[in-house]
Chain A
């Protein structure tokens, strides 16, 4: 049973600070990892993908991957109130060999940026 674990929160961060979101996954064979942002009443929006160990930066967002520890994180620098949302960690299901594979999602972390 593939599992993706996230702390459901809420995680409260003051405006301008760094928000740190964490995710662990159970299947050691997993190779592809994604972060989605979901506003209340909306669908998930892809914000980052990461495939290799280390850091990947895109604007105010940095994704970090440690396959040995089966751990993925997302850092949001200079947090803004508009960053308040639920952040979903997703892992591509491994072993099927193709690009058309479903994702296994965590339950999400509810992030609140306090003005």
Chain B
């Protein structure tokens, strides 16, 4: 248990659905991240938030919309996804005095 939780752990959604992924960290960190892990590809950074402000958007399609209401919570809102968006979505957090990132268990997303 790393102190980073994610819900749901598994999600199946149709291409016309809207859903949200939730991440919560209990480590007192002030930066949070979304990564995507697809089969046969390295982990890909999607979004970075520092002190609740987005500091990096790694050219992610607009069908993915992040939200960071406070330093402990991070959401990823999903709409009109494509089957190629099926992947493991990982949340991580860190403190800006230390670059070490700790990952949550991930949400396994399947788009049908």
In the bound complex, what is the Cα–Cα distance between A43 and B51 (angstroms)? 24
Number of A-B contacts (CB under 8 A): 72
| CB-CB nearest 8 A-B residue pairs | A99-B96, A100-B50, A100-B31, A102-B45, A105-B43, A43-B103, A105-B42, A107-B42
Question: Given the complex of chains A and B, what is the CA–CA distance between A92 and B102 in angstroms?
Answer: 14
Does B59 belong to the interface (CB within 8 Å)? Answer: no
Q: Contact: A45 with B99, CB < 8 Å? A: no
Cβ of B17: which chain A residues have Cβ within 8 Å of it? none
What DSSP secondary structure best describes chain B's contact surface? strand
Q: Say whether B49 faces chain A, with CB atoms less than 8 Å apart.
A: yes
Chain A positions 84-106 with a Cβ under 8 Å from a chain B Cβ:
88, 90, 92-93, 96, 98-106
Contact A100-B96, Cβ < 8 Å, known A43-B90, A43-B105: yes
Whether A34 sits at the interface, judged by CB under 8 Å, is yes
Assess the A46–B100 pair: CB atoms within 8 A. Answer: yes
Which residues of B are at the interface with A, using a C-beta cutoff of 8 A?
2, 30-31, 33, 35, 40-43, 45, 48-51, 55-56, 58, 88, 90, 94-106
Q: Which of B48, B94, B103 contacts A44 (CB 8 A)?
A: B103
Can you show 23 pairs from A to B with CB atoms below 8 A apart?
A: A4-B42, A32-B99, A34-B99, A43-B104, A44-B43, A45-B2, A46-B103, A49-B99, A88-B43, A90-B43, A96-B55, A99-B50, A99-B96, A99-B97, A99-B98, A100-B30, A100-B31, A100-B49, A100-B55, A101-B48, A103-B43, A104-B45, A107-B42
